């Protein structure tokens, strides 16, 4: 207790500064791994990446064992699990009710959310780097004939986009639902249901790449650059499936009563 605060009814806040973003980011990164669920999610991601790549390295055809394919295998587990981490990063504050403490220590909720987004992206970048490293290692050890063919900077960009949009979509769904189970289920079921619907109903099939995110993401896994039309489809479906839910979720989180 400072001397001034004890003698006056007013609070002397002149010497306090708000927690810098770097500190909030550190807190959010720590929250990802300081529970058993978070820690095991990380371990599982690492282990599955190594196992999947190894199996492909041992069992894959000689001409398939290229760096590009190894990267697909190394990236698949995190592509599925990183969004879950993004979801939990937001929803655990509500499910476990820690938001009561989090938002009391930093009443500007948008700053906490920004820290969460940065933390998720940082983790995505780290996971991307690890996946690339694992793929390089696997190519060196298991690589078939001419394993480095068809690799360009654009492939890394596409891979990165795929991972990052996955994480952001997870965060958006988490924000929108503020409930772990509901967000995880909806995150997996809704896009899949949409993909099935748009790819089986003939009348919808043509519009699928303009509305269904999964369809628009398809070319990201193919070799080479995307056409202008494909980039546009990616941008539009990304807006529908990531940006709009994120903004709606943000609006909800800023207003939600925390109890």
Partner 1 sequence: MITLEHVSKTYGGFTAVDDVSFTAKPGRVTGFLGPNGAGKSTSMRIMVGLTHADRGTATIGGHTYADIPNPGRHVGVLLDASAQHAGRTGREVLALSALTMGLAQSRVDEMLELVGLTETESKRRVRNYSLGMRQRLGIANALMADPSVLILDEPANGLDPAGIHWMRSLLRGYAERGGTVLLSSHLLHEVEMIADDMVLIGRGRIVAQGTKAELLQTSGTFVRAEHPQKLAAVLAEAGIKASPSGDRGFRTEAEPIEVGRVAASAGIVLVELKPAEGAGLEELFLELTADDARETVTTEGVQL
Count of residues engaged in binding partner 1, rule: CB under 8 A: 42
Residue 241 C-beta: closest distance to partner 1, Å: 29
* Pattern 102-131, partner 1, x by CB under 8 A: xxxxxxx-----------------------
* Closer residue to partner 1, CB minimum distance, 23 or 229: 23
Which of 130, 125, 132 has its CA nearest to residue 155?
132
5 binds partner 1 (CB under 8 A): yes
- The rounded distance, in Å, linking the Cα atoms of 37 and 57 is 30
- The rounded distance, in Å, linking the Cα atoms of 201 and 40 is 40
Interacting stretch for partner 1, rule CB under 8 A, among 3-11, 144-152, 182-190, 219-227?
A: 3-11
Angle (nearest 5°) at CA 78 between 76 and 83: 120
- The rounded distance, in Å, linking the Cα atoms of 213 and 240 is 8
Q: Which residues, other chains included, contact 197 with Cβ-Cβ below 8 Å and sequence gap of 6+?
A: 204
Residue 37 C-beta: closest distance to partner 1, Å: 6
Interacting stretch for partner 1, rule CB under 8 A, among 17-25, 65-73, 175-183, 242-250?
A: 17-25
101 binds partner 1 (CB under 8 A): yes
3-state helix, strand, coil split of the chain in percent (to 5) is 80, 0, 20
- The rounded distance, in Å, linking the Cα atoms of 152 and 142 is 20
13 binds partner 1 (CB under 8 A): yes
Residue 34 C-beta: closest distance to partner 1, Å: 5
Binding partner 1 (rule: CB under 8 A), the pick from 21, 100, 140, 201 is 100
Tokens of 50: 């190594």
Tokens of 123: 């983790």
Tell me which residues in 28-47 interact with partner 1 (CB under 8 A).
30-31, 34-37
> If you count them, how many residues does the chain have?
259
Residue 99 C-beta: closest distance to partner 1, Å: 8
Positions that interact with partner 1 (CB under 8 A) = 1-2, 5-13, 16-19, 23-24, 26-27, 30-31, 34-37, 92, 96-98, 100-108, 255, 257-259
């Amino acid at each position: 207790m400072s001397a001034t605060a004890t003698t006056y009814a007013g609070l002397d806040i002149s010497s306090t500064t708000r927690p810098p973003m770097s500190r909030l980011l550190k807190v959010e990164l720590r929250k990802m791994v300081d529970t058993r669920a978070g820690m095991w999610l990380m371990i599982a991601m690492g282990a599955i990446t190594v196992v999947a790549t190894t199996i492909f390295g041992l069992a894959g055809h000689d001409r398939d064992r290229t760096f590009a394919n190894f990267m697909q295998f190394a990236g698949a587990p995190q592509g599925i699990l990183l969004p879950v981490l993004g979801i939990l990063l937001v929803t655990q504050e509500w499910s476990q009710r820690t938001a009561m403490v989090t938002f009391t220590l930093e009443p500007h909720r948008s700053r906490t959310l920004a820290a969460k987004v940065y933390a998720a992206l940082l983790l995505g970048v780290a996971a991307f780097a690890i996946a690339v490293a694992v793929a390089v290692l696997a190519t060196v050890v298991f690589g078939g004939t001419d394993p480095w063919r068809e690799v360009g900077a654009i492939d890394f960009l596409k891979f990165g986009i795929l991972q990052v949009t996955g994480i952001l979509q997870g965060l958006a769904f988490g924000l929108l639902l503020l409930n772990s189970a509901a967000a995880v289920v909806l995150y997996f079921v809704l896009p899949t249901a949409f993909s099935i619907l748009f790819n089986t109903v003939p009348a919808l099939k043509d519009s699928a790449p303009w509305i269904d995110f999964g369809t628009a993401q398809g070319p990201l896994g193919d070799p080479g650059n995307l056409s202008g039309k494909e980039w546009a489809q990616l941008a539009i479906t990304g807006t529908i499936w990531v940006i709009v839910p994120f903004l709606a979720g943000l609006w909800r989180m800023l207003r939600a009563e925390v109890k």
